[in-house]
Structure 1
Amino acid sequence: MRAAVVRTFGGPEAVELVESELPRPGARQVRIKTAGAALNPVDLGVRAGFFGGAGKQIGLGWDVAGTVDAVGVASAWEVGDEVVALHEGLVKPLGAHAEYVVVGTDAVAKAPATVDAVHAATLPLNALTAVQALDLLELAPGQTLLVTGAAGAVGGFAVQLAARRGVSVTGLAREGDEEFVRSLGAAEFTTTGAAGAFDAVLDTAVLGEAALEWVRDGGTYAGVQPGAHPESVRGVRTTSVAVAADGARLAELAALVDEGVLTLRVAETYPLDAASKAHARLEEGGVRGRLVLVP
């Protein structure tokens, strides 16, 4: 089995394609034959060594879509099921950027029926991050939310999910993204924040203290880098999401794709053996949608 890994930290050239033994699913696990695996910014951080693991082989990739091809005992899935899953973990010997992926049965959900596997592969990490961050904010219908990075992958899902909950969403992004952000359900659009103007901020653009200033006194700030949120000021509750695999929640999100609530965006696809090129492209910036590796 081929898999994309890093064994030394560095730039895109550090990504290696290695041959690995075909993994076998244990109890309450499934093996998925990969049809699509999205590349995310966290993969660049892992590759660069931001999360440690020096001296180890570290597998890349969190998102996978494909077909169940083997199951362990006590699995809720059957061979042939079309699924999506989150393969979480910053330092793991094999990730989702591989021809086959073994994950826990509770991390798996039925794939959306209305999109192909390449598009489905863009759902797990980013949509789960968005919905779990919104849960932390605990907003009621009618309250105001600013989503920074609203045209990005996590931000776009957050806008759609929050608007569906009846929250009044303002999307912050570049001028050229206004039409798109409004199409996601944002009631308002801005390229700059305003001090104390919102009940909450979901800071997917990782602006930190600058975004915190846009929350009203006693409001809430949520970041998307675990533990890296700014300290509380003016009674603002600050927190950050540490995304967790949740097959039941992922199934709800997949259903929202089929209902037309969530929009899946693929910018480009790359063969698995061009993983380093995909890393280089993501590092350049300006990508709208996800880059997806196709074994």
Structure 2
Amino acid sequence: MKVVGITRPGGPEELGVHELPTPDAGPGEVRIRVRAASVNPVDTLLRAGAIPTDGATAPHVPGMDAAGVVDQVGEHVGQWVIGDRVMAFAHPLTSHGGSYVESLVAPADAVAAVPRGLDLHAAATLPMNGLTALQIVEKLERRGVRSLAITGAAGQLGGYVIQLAKDRRMWVVADASPHDVDLVRGLGADLVVGRGDDVADAVRQAVPAGVDAVVDAALLHELALGAVRDGGVYLAVRRWRGLPTRGITFDASAVREEYHVPGRLDRVRDAVERGVLTPRVAGVLPSDEAAEAHRRLETGGLRGRYVLTF
């Protein structure tokens, strides 16, 4: 089968096309003929060597999202049959590997049906970002958060957090550049402030006591911390813990904890079918052009995800 991966870490040019044996589904697994795999920032980290591959055999294959059609079903799998249209959450650091592949073997409980009315390109943008946003909002809900600020709100993850938070009746202030204001308002933000290093001051002007929580999808770290009220929550998208201050609790998303957990991806599917989550595709490229997709992602400013086709 065709895979896209790296034999050494580096820039986008290190992504190459390789041929590997087509794997078979084992007990509790399905094999998916991948038609679409989305490109996420974490993929660029693996490619650049920022995520250790722990001595695994090259090529190392990025990708955490896939959509396609089931073409093989292992033993002890009751819910899937050959021909089902599915989306899957992949984990590059497991034996199953990443999603930049023609054939992906996945645990049956890391797979969900493609939401009704959605094509495979859009479905491929859902698993990793949808599960991350779901985990974030559930963490905040358990802490009793009723108001939150989101940085990087126009991005895929930030947008999903807005939509899921509003579905739980939270009050949301979100940042946006001038050309993204309408987009972020359309996602459901109650208040939009300017994007930038002074976002905490902008939030405090609107909410002088500070919000219950900040979800820092823009990785502003201490620049966003000031928006949180005393005793509130700062939730990092990539783990960061500031110095103890004002009784603030530091937390972080850890989407890998959602891998192989029954029913979780179905909750993302349900949110799409209820009209809560709206996937956004920035563009579609053939898998041979994965390097170009990585270059465009690292340039910044995307409002959606690039999707590779196989």
TM-score, normalization by structure 1: 0.94
Residue of structure 2 equivalent to 1:157? 160
Report what 2:200 is aligned to: 193
Say whether 1:236 aligns with 2:236: no
Partners of 1:142 and 1:135 lie apart in 2 by 10
By how many angstroms is 1:53 displaced? Answer: 2.6
CA contact (8 A) 1:142 1:168 kept: no
Which 10-residue stretch deviates more, 108-117 or 74-83?
A: 74-83
Out of 193, 206, 222, the residue aligned to residue 235 of structure 2 is 222
Provide the residue aligned with 1:59 in structure 2: 61
Provide the secondary structure at the position in 1 that maps to 2:263: helix
In the other structure, the counterpart of 2:286 is 271
SS of structure 2 residue aligned to 1:134: helix
Letter of the aligned partner of 2:99 in structure 1? Answer: A
* Structure 1 residues 108-127: aligned runs within 5 Å: 108-127=111-130
Q: Which blocks of at least 5 consecutive residues in structure 2 are unaligned? A: none
Match of 1:39 in 2: 39
SS in structure 2 of the partner of residue 69 of structure 1? strand
Q: C-alpha separation between the residues in 2 aligned to 1:275 and 1:36?
A: 12
8 Å contact from structure 1 (residues 59, 91) kept in 2: no
1:70 counterpart letter in structure 2: Q
Unaligned runs of 5+ residues in structure 1 are: none
Q: CA RMSD in A?
A: 1.8
> What is the match of residue 50 of structure 2?
50
Greater shift in the superposed pair: 170-179 or 87-96: 87-96
Contact 2:96 2:104 in 1 (8 A): no
CA contact (8 A) 1:265 1:288 kept: yes
For each residue in 1:219-254, what CA deviation from the matched residue of structure 2 results, as whole angstroms up to 9, or x when unmatched?
0111111x4333432111111011022451211211
Work out the CA distance in 2 between the residues paired with 1:13 and 1:222: 33
Superposed displacement of residue 142, structure 1: 8.0
Rounded Cα–Cα distance in structure 2 between residues aligned with 1:234 and 1:288: 34
Structure 2 residue 71 is the aligned partner of structure 1 residue 69: yes
Once the two structures are superposed, the pairs formed by residues 74-223 of structure 1 within 5 Å of their partners are 74-75=76-77, 76-90=79-93, 94-138=97-141, 143-191=146-194, 192-194=199-201, 195=204, 197-223=210-236
- The CA deviation at 1:193 is 2.3
Q: Distance in 1 between matches of 2:148 and 2:130?
A: 17
How far apart, in 1, do the equivalents of 2:42 and 2:134 lie? 18
CA displacement, residues 5-41 of structure 1 (integer Å, 9 cap, x when unaligned): 1111110100011001001111111111111110000
Cα separation, partners in 2 of 1:142 and 1:236, compared to 1, 3 Å? closer
Partner of 2:276: 261
Aligned residue-pair number: 294
Larger deviation, residues 252-261 vs 151-160: 252-261
Which moved further from structure 2: 64-73 or 280-289? 280-289
**Residues 13, 113 of structure 1: alpha-carbon distance in 2 compared, 3 angstrom cutoff:** same
For residues 50-104 of structure 1, what are the alpha-carbon distances to aligned partners after superposition, in whole Å with 9 as ceiling and x for unaligned?
Answer: 0123764211110011111111111132111111110024476741011111111
